[in-house]
Amino acid sequence: MLLETLDAWLACEGSAGRAAGRLYCHRDTVFTCLRRLGTADLPFPLPCDLVEVTLAPEAHRLPPG
């Protein structure tokens, strides 16, 4: 659920409301998931923080090896 929420939030350009519509949930649910992922300090203070959060789901999907 957390990675799905992060994917939707990124696809919606950081809009919790649009991500919630895509996920069929309340926008507060999106914020709760983002806080659990450690992205509660939105907007990101440093560009590298956004890069890390954007790449995390892709890295998680890589096959082990």
Tokens for 4, please give them: 């799905």
Identify the pLDDT of residue 43: 56
The average pLDDT across 4-25 equals 92
**Phi/psi of residue 35, each to 5°?**
-65, -40
Question: Of residues 28 and 1, which shows the higher confidence score?
Answer: 28
pLDDT digits (tens, 9 = 90+) for 23-55: 999 999 998 888 887 755 555 666 677 788 788
H-run or E-run covering 34 = helix 27-36
Amino acid symbol at 21: G
- 20 Cα distance to chain centroid: 11
